[in-house]
Structure formats: C-alpha cells, structure tokens
Structure 1
Amino acid sequence: MASWRNGTLYIGVTSNLMARIVQHREGTFDGFSKRYGVNRLVRFAMADTMEAAITREKQMKVWKRSWKIELIETDNPTWRDLAEDWGFEPFPTPIPSS
C-alpha cells in the first residue's frame, strides 16, 4: 500500500485482501497507515501459505526503500491504485508523479 507515488509505503499480510483494502481506504484503524494516508493498493502478491507470506513480509520490511520502489515499478510503473480493478472508487486526487 502507498499514500501516493513515491510516498509512504506499508507492507502487510492479510488473509482477506478485499477487506483489508476497505480498512485502509476508510481509515478504520488508528495507526501508521491511517496517520500517513496509506490507502492505495500499488502491489500485492499471493503466497501458498500464511507462513510463506509472513516470511516474505519480514524480508521486505528490512529492504532498502529503493528496492521496494523498484519492485512496485516493475509491475505498476505509474503507481495506479489496483483496487480500482475490483470496483473500488478512484480517489479524488491522482497520485502525484515524481
């Protein structure tokens, strides 16, 4: 998840991506993602098991920021909100370009 292009990034694990997108977009929970407006799905990956997903999350959380940005831009160079592909409304302001 990201606040905007090259903005604040959030890496997490969930067993229900749709519900988690709603939580981020609506700011349901106080904390990091709500405080920094991290509400756009810019990348996601599936894992065979929750254990594998958690292992990958822990690896990525210690990556350099530049590596995370490179990974996002490999699949989503414009940082488009992928949640819109599943019927979520676009945010009123576009993600600023770099």
Structure 2
Amino acid sequence: MKEYYVYIITNYDQSVLYTGVTSDLVKRIYEHKNKLTDGFSQKYNLQYLIHYEVHNDINIAISREKLIKRWKRQWKIDLIKKINPQFIDLYNNGNIMAIPQI
C-alpha cells in the first residue's frame, strides 16, 4: 500500500513553519535541504524536518495538509511538541527518524 506524508519543515531559528504533502518524504526533504525546490521553502531556507505523519490515502493526506496550513502557529507548535518536543531534525543523511503515530 502506498504511503503519503504530511510534513512540517522549518528554518534554523524556527521562525517559519511550512506544511507540505508528498509520497516520497526522503526525496522531498533532500530537495528542500539542497535547495532544489523554487519558491517559499528556498526563500526562507526551510530545511529541518520537525514533524511528519503517514497516511494511506492521498485524499486524507491532502485534507490534513490543508487543515494544518489553516491552523494558528501555536497549534502547529503544540502538534510538533507532542512528538518532537526538542524540534530536532528528523532527517539524517537520507534517513527519516521514526516517530510514534498520533
């Protein structure tokens, strides 16, 4: 079964949070880290994966992404802190650290 990921990335000082969706999380974060994507993430140097969720249905993943994008910043921070209270980068040289399901 194919998996889809809703993810949140940030910059060094965590001043910007970006929410996205992808079917290949490792590739997508690699692209962000190496500035292979034009636009918002490149402009704000967003390269630290601080949250992700796995979904088996692309429609659910897209709906979740849209929902999180509408959230207030503090709600996003609260979501991240449930799983990753230290805001550590969950991407390490092509490997994604496992996180518990919420």
Same fold (TM over 0.5): yes
Deviation at 1:4, TM superposition (A): 3.0
Matched positions, count: 88
Whether 1:73 and 2:85 are equivalent positions in the alignment is no
* Distance change (3 Å), C-alpha of 1:18 and 1:28: same
RMSD value over aligned CA atoms?
1.7
CA contact (8 A) 2:26 2:95 kept: no
Structure 2: stretches of 5+ with no match in the other structure: 1-8, 97-102
Alpha-carbon offset, residue 5 of structure 1: 5.0
Q: What residue is the counterpart of 1:17 in the other structure?
A: 25
Q: Call closer, same or farther: CA 1:21–1:59 in 2, change over 3 Å.
A: same
1:45 is aligned to 53
TM-score between both structures, scaled by the size of structure 1: 0.83
1:2 counterpart = 2:10? yes
Q: CA deviation at 1:86?
A: 4.8
- TM-score (structure 2 length as normaliser): 0.80
The residue that corresponds to 1:32 in the other structure is 40
AA partner of residue 64 (structure 1) = K
What secondary structure does 1:10 align onto? strand
Structure with the higher strand share, 1 or 2: 2
Matched, 1:54 2:62: yes
Q: Which AA in structure 1 matches 2:30?
A: V
Equivalent pair of 2:32/2:46 in contact (CA under 8 Å) = yes
Give the drift of 1:7: 1.9
Note if contact 2:30-2:94 (Cα within 8 Å) is conserved in structure 1: no
Q: Which runs of 4+ in 1 moved over 4 A?
A: 85-88
Deviation at 1:2, TM superposition (A): 0.8
